[in-house]
Amino acid sequence: MNKKEIILWGVGTSRTIRPIWVAEELGLSYKVKPIGPRTGETQTDAFTKINPKQKVPLLQDGDFCISESPAICRYLINQYGLAENITAPACAQEKAREDEWLSFIYGELDETSLYVIRRHEALAAIYGEAPNAITAAKSYFQKHISVAENRLKDRKFLIQNKFGVADIFLTTCLIWAEGSQIELSNILTEYLSNMTERSGYKRARIKNNQKL
């Protein structure tokens, strides 16, 4: 493999679009390997060799491999610098604030809320039906999304009032929430509309939605 070649493995989910979107905002040259999380392709010996977790998304940058969408997005920005379209905090306190938001979005909105809903609705054949868990997860999401809503009452973006990785994560969760029939406030709906009008998002969506 060309050591400068960047490959992003995985398409079709809210998690796989995140690093693709970052790469688009940074204007990077990269390839997308369109495999899905449940197509069997992540279970092959070849893929398991580069990612023993057998999960997507996965980043390959030459001989370096890393999984988990927060880590991938962070790496791309740290390794390849900033662009006009996306920024990252410069000082320790601002970096900590962004880490706080990323942890909150990924932990409370993605894993604890939206993925629980997905497991017991779209993936009920695998994980079983659990209507009470779905109801509780939706309530949990509504409770915690209010934190982001309050943050966005007087600003366009989550951090420094500039577009960054935290906005990518929040946007993908809001899209996911709408797909799960969770009602969003006017503030969040307007924010989502602005984020999805970005050309970087539109390009990333096309690549993330390609056929497996």
Q: How many angstroms separate the CA atoms of 3 and 61, rounded?
A: 7
Under 8 Å CB-to-CB from 30, ≥6 apart: which residues? 5, 6, 7, 8, 23
Could you list the mean pLDDT of each consecutive 10-residue stretch along the chain, which spans 212 residues? Answer: 81 98 97 92 95 97 96 94 80 92 98 96 91 97 98 95 96 98 98 98 97 70
Q: How many angstroms separate the CA atoms of 3 and 10, rounded?
A: 20
Q: How many angstroms separate the CA atoms of 5 and 12, rounded?
A: 22
* Cis geometry, peptide bond prior to residue 37 (ω within 30 degrees of 0): no
Architecture of domain 6-86: 3-Layer(aba) Sandwich (3.40)
* Structure tokens that stand for 87 in this block: 């920024």
CATH fold of 92-198 reads Glutathione S-transferase Yfyf (Class Pi); Chain A, domain 2 (1.20.1050)
Under 8 Å CB-to-CB from 114, ≥6 apart: which residues? 14, 137, 141, 173, 176, 177, 180
Cα dihedral 42, 48, 49, 53, rounded to 10, equals 110
The predicted structure's pLDDT at residue 3: 56
Contact predicate 12/208, CB 8 Å: yes
Residue type, 178: E
User: Domain segments of the chain: what residues?
Assistant: 6-86, 92-198
* Structure tokens that stand for 36 in this block: 């899905």
The predicted structure's pLDDT at residue 1: 47
pTM: 0.94
Q: Is 95 helix (H, G, I), strand (E, B) or coil?
A: helix
Q: Write b or e for each residue in 122-146: b if 16 or more Cβ atoms lie within 10 A of its Cβ, otherwise e.
A: eeeeeeeebeeebeebbebbbebbe
